[in-house]
Amino acid sequence: MCGICGIVHSKDQRVDSELLRSMAHAMVHRGPDDDGYLVNGNIGLGFRRLSIVDLEHGHQPMSNEDESVWVVFNGEIYNHQSLRQILIDKGHQFRTHADTEVIVHLYEEEGIRCLESLRGMFGIAIADLRTREVFLARDYFGIKPIYYSQFEGSLLFASELRSVLAGRPGHRSVDKQAAWDYFTFQYVPQPESMVEGVKKLPPAHYAHFRDGQITIHRYWSPTFAPDESKPLSYFVEGVQHHLSESVRLHLQADVKVGSFLSSGVDSSAIVALASKFQDMMTFSVGFEDMRSGVKELDLASQTASLLHTDHHDITVSAKEFLEQLPSVMASLEEPLGDPSAFGLYFVSKLATEFVTVVLSGEGADEIFGGYPIYHEPISLQMFDSVPASLKRGIRSFAAALPYGMRGRSFLLRGTTPLERRFIGNISVFRDDTKEAMLEALASDERVVSSYHVTDPVYDRYPSFDPITRMQLLDLNTWLPGDILFKADKMTMAHSLELRVPFLDRGVFDFAATIPTRYRVNQEGKYTFRQAAKAWLPNTITERPKLGFPVPYREWLKSWHRHVWDIFSASPVREWFSADLVEKMLKEHFEGTRDHGRELWTLLTFLVWHSAVIEG
């Protein structure tokens, strides 16, 4: 795991090597073990290394035999050994055992189509000095990030936002559209970032930069191809085989590998499989003043005992949490309203005391159908046969009912098209509340509805059933924007590599053949849970999704004056309705209405602004 960066100018401008070094230094935590640079006229590549594979010879940038092609690479290629043998048979000569060198020679052989042969997680920059062009590429699901900024015919790129900003000092202002979308989704959807002028390369895309022009291309798209001819047993056995193989490949390393372990089935299955190949260390986090927190730590400890792992956990107090809030938001680089990011921050800090690599269970819910919201199309089936005119009448009736009244939400959602009722696994603010709160942004004619994020995804997959379309939406938005975003930022803040065996192409390609009825029926992730019974007892396979929950709703009640002080001192407070913010704080403090999610999303934005934009 590493950090990469680069500068590419038009042909008549040479790269400033000191500026390139400053960009790399800005993300030293991603690669504390080594650094490396290439400056060749108008092209510059920078690299920070966290040594994982071939500790002695994995220095980057890395080139082919005649030094005409150079690569910097952040991630892991799990099929690099089989690819290496194919390339050797074709006459390529290798100097190292690093997976990076496989990318170099595979590009020589196949050009940018080489991305389709890679099995792993990656953020890659390829500089072809023969044609003076540069390619940037991001893995299939968006496990590893790439930020970039184009200006005056030049391109800056890096694994982290702070590195790009180091290359353009003084260019820090909030992107208003990104801010508007943030208060819808609790994260900043790709391809935008929260900083104006900086973008994120979307998953499964590559960028081509030549002669001052950049073009973005999609090289893969997740899709489902259900095989209705096979019985459930076929899919159960297939999941067992493919996930076991993925875990085996994800254990490749020349350093210690451990695993995060919550009390849920996803991480428990990963640990159970990993334990078949090697002794494992596991790590969990809990929070004080949380009724269920101790229970979940106890459950994780019991699972660790069952699987015979060397288990470690940590309990975080509200005081520690609040003290670390600015550091966490600075490490995230963009605001994120997902409280579980803080659990990842603290458990990563613990894990890095013992290991360099951890496995984790991200992605299982998106590919196997695990989120409770995926049951909604089943519960709303009764509305499928209702005429459109009657639906409109029911919806008007429901909208007139008092907010929170029993049945109101059910009627509204049942009479609303999927494309408008489901815009991702989380929706923080209702449109009317968001417009009332974000007065300045709502009146800005440049800011458009957040449906601009979800509509293109739905348009891409018009023929699938509603459950599958919901999964595909989350795979394209929520997974890279929230789940994988926080996983990368929180682990790399502590120089820890996180690997996600569920998001292996082999696992996904097989999971995509599972019929919808075997993914979601009386319980979510049905096929996966049946498969996991080969490794885990029913008490674990039947547990609901838990993760590392944070008692932020209760904590916000005691922090309400602190939140108001932060809001009052913020230079962007004029974007918001002070009266509405004050009302929400008062209602939440008094317990008359739960505004925890909205207030947390606001607080994290304000703290992020102070740490990144003002700081």
Give catalytic residues, as residue numbers: 2
Type of residue at 177: Q
Distance CA 550, CA 343 (A): 7
Distance CA 520, CA 292 (A): 27
Spell out the alpha helix ranges (H) of 307-417: 318-332, 340-351, 364-368, 376-379, 388-400, 408-414
Distance CA 87, CA 99 (A): 12
- In angstroms, the Cα distances linking 376 to 470, 520, 522 are 10, 10, 12
- Cβ neighbours of residue 165 closer than 8 Å, sequence gap 6 or more: 26, 171, 172, 195, 198
Give the residue among 583, 611, 548, 505 at the shortest CA–CA distance from 118: 505
Distance CA 492, CA 509 (A): 28
What is the DSSP code (8-state) at residue 29?
A: G
3-state secondary structure of 388: helix
Q: What tokens does 317 get?
A: 């107090």
3-state secondary structure of 146: coil
Distance CA 463, CA 598 (A): 34
- In angstroms, the Cα distances linking 318 to 122, 286, 559 are 36, 11, 10
Q: What tokens does 577 get?
A: 């309705």
- In a 10 Å sphere around its CB, with 0-12 CB exposed, 13-18 middle and 19+ buried, how is residue 219 labelled? middle
> Look-up: residue for tokens 């505004």?
595
What is the DSSP code (8-state) at residue 118?
A: -
According to DSSP, the β-strands at 43-49 and 34-40 are: antiparallel
What is the DSSP code (8-state) at residue 160?
A: S
Type of residue at 460: R
What is the DSSP code (8-state) at residue 222?
A: -
Q: What tokens does 83 get?
A: 């690819």
Please give the helix or strand (H or E) that residue 100 lies within, else none. helix 99-110
Distance CA 611, CA 567 (A): 14
> Look-up: residue for tokens 């602190």?
562
Contact 477, 424 (CB under 8 A): yes
- The distance from CA 334 to its chain's CA centroid, rounded to whole angstroms, is 12
Distance CA 137, CA 135 (A): 7
